[in-house]
Each structure stands twice: as structure tokens, then as C-alpha cells.
Amino acid sequence: MNAYFMIVLLAVVLFFVVWGLGWLLERMSHLILQTTRNPGSRAWYLLVGPGVALHESSHALGCIFTRTPIVEFKPINVSVQGDQVVLGYVRYQNPPSHFKRAIINLAPVGVSLILLTTFALAATYLAPEYTGIGGEALNLLFGLISLKTDPNLLANPALPVIQ
């Protein structure tokens, strides 16, 4: 067999592999969407419930952080109202400060970033064969912090080259 035939054969095989994987992913996504379409089912609670509870708990933490009184807290409350599904909610007294409202509304983003960072660092240090990854990341972070605080290092134009 010559190289041209091998390339054509490989392209045909890869086409059908990619097509088959796409079909499989489409079937899986339809199955998951049908499973989560019925709010309140056991599969729904397993797939969607933890994310909803974390999201609403983050809003509640934002209220606690800003000392805003919480009126009602339902981390998982499945109810259908018209064409909308209410998954959970936190009712709180509306604070007069726009800054406090922003903290409460953006709390899920901050909590998610903190959890992801903590999870990544913990996984790095708990896996014994990959301990260098987290150590190198922390060394880089501390190096950047020390670079900003040391005027001699900031004045050196060859710093990235010599390290």
C-alpha cells in the first residue's frame, strides 16, 4: 500500500469515528435533557440539585457577608409557575447600598472560584506523583508577588531572560 492510500483510508476511518462520536454525544445529551426536563424527579435532584443548592447557598453567604437580613431561604424548592420553573431562592431585605447588592448577586461567582481553586490545590497536593505542579504554581505566584515588592528586580530589564 502506498502513502496516498493510507492517508485516504485514515481520513475515511477518522470521519466515521468522529461522526459516530457526534451521534453518541447527541443521543446522550437528548437523554440527559429528557431526564432533567421533569423537575422534581430523582434524576433531576441528582443532576441539577447540587448546583442549585450551591448557587442559592452562595447568595445566602453573600447576605451573611454583607449583614443583610435573610427573609426566606429555600436552597431547593421546585415549583412550576406558568412557563417558568423556580429551582430555589433566597429572599432578603433589599440593602440600600448598590455595592452590597452587587456582592450578594455576584457571590456565586466568587464562591465557585474559591471552591475551584481550593479543589485544584488540594488535588495537586493529595496526588503524590504530581506534587510539583502545585508547588511550581505557588512558587510562580510568590515570585510575582516578590517581583512587585522588590524595586531592584523591577529595574532589571533582563529579569525574564536570566531566570
Whole-number Å distance between alpha carbons of 64 and 104? 9
pTM recorded for the entire structure: 0.56
Per-residue pLDDT of 55-87, as tens digits, reads 999 999 999 999 999 999 988 887 777 777 778
Torsion 28-31-37-41 (CA) sign:
negative
Residue 37 pLDDT level (bands cut at 50, 70, 90): low
pLDDT for the residue numbered 6: 80
Per-residue pLDDT of 94-109, as tens digits, reads 998 999 999 999 999 9
The 8-class DSSP code of residue 66 comes to T
Whole-number Å distance between alpha carbons of 159 and 138? 19
Whole-number Å distance between alpha carbons of 17 and 20? 5
